[in-house]
Homo-oligomer: A and B are copies of this chain.
């Protein structure tokens, strides 16, 4: 039984605590840490054998702790990751790895000094059944090489304070990882086209947007991002290959005829759409950790995503094509 310290007990952290407690096999919540002592205590009280802390490092020092799940706000990730490295503990770190490329590079270097991978980054779409099937299809090469990807990423609406930069950093970051993973290649340039915004977009938010990636291998990827579409949550991806195309994300559930209409319900949000992927992600991390292994998205993936996000935010602001610069890939991540 793997004893896990959950660092950060906001929405995502509390959900991971529940997941490890009720859903995941082979792990238990040994410690929770939050700067809000009451919140940490309240959460720990509900779980047999869990201790509450305000300091992440203290939680990691709890003798019952074998591994760390970081779900605190992005700016707190770097310190928590370095604390975990100091104790050589395996880490599942919610995305983003860190909020920018420079800090991600520092984490990358620290893990290399450790000499072995310890971090799995929380890009949970890699654990979604649809994306996994698409990845397998592409890897088999049944339809030849992939030439283009068409992504759609739609949210019903956004919380107050959602900015243009968050459209890239919080939303498109998933398509950044999916693109790199599905195509097994780096993104080399980003463009952002901004249509006249929807009347339903909050003031100042350029919603929807069309984000365009080029890859090192010459593939072109477009993503419709529409975060105030009003009608629900939809994530789909079509890979156009040399002799066939394959699309996932048309998850249609119950088919209904009524009142002159055929159709069904659209998934309301990412929790419902990716619930299974979150479960599978944590279970795979627990299983690998118990075997003493690390798999899944690495610090390199976290760093590359941060670098593309930075280019994307610049492309969004300037209307220009912005090239993405990456350091050479370190041996640990090859």
Contacts and interface: CB of A to CB of B under 8 A. Distances in A.
Nearest to A156: B260
A253 B130 contact: yes
Given A25-B22, A258-B143, A266-B261, A231 B210 contact: no
A200 B243 CA distance: 8
Contacts of A145: 198-199
A137 interface: yes
A265 to B, nearest CB: 6
Report the contact-size class of chain A (Cβ under 8 Å from the partner): 35 or more
A205 interface: no
A195 B222 CA distance: 12
A244 B266 contact: no
Contacts of A144: 198-200
Interface stretch (A76-84, A105-113, A213-221): A213-221
A286 to B, nearest CB: 11
Contact of A198 (B147, B150, B254): B147
A224 B263 contact: no
Contacts of A240: 208, 224, 226, 229
A118 B154 CA distance: 45
Interface in A233-265: 234, 240, 242-248, 250, 252-265
A24 interface: yes
A231 B254 contact: no
A17 to B, nearest CB: 13
A212 interface: yes
B134 A254 contact: yes
Interface string A59-73: 000000000000000
A75 interface: no
Given A148-B210, A240-B208, A266-B262, A130 B195 contact: no
A130 B248 contact: no
A257 B234 contact: yes
Number of copies: 4
A23 interface: yes
A224 B226 CA distance: 19
A133 to B, nearest CB: 5
Contact of A260 (B212, B232, B242): B232
Interface string A173-213: 00000000000000000000111111110000000101010
A208 B147 contact: yes
B259 A243 contact: yes
Contact of A258 (B224, B244, B254, B259): B244
A237 to B, nearest CB: 10
21 contacts: A23-B25, A130-B254, A133-B254, A144-B199, A145-B199, A147-B208, A193-B214, A195-B218, A195-B220, A196-B217, A200-B242, A229-B244, A230-B244, A231-B243, A232-B260, A245-B256, A245-B257, A246-B254, A250-B252, A257-B266, A262-B263
Given A244-B256, A248-B253, 13 more contacts: A21-B25, A143-B256, A143-B258, A144-B198, A147-B198, A150-B150, A195-B218, A200-B243, A208-B240, A231-B257, A243-B259, A247-B256, A260-B268
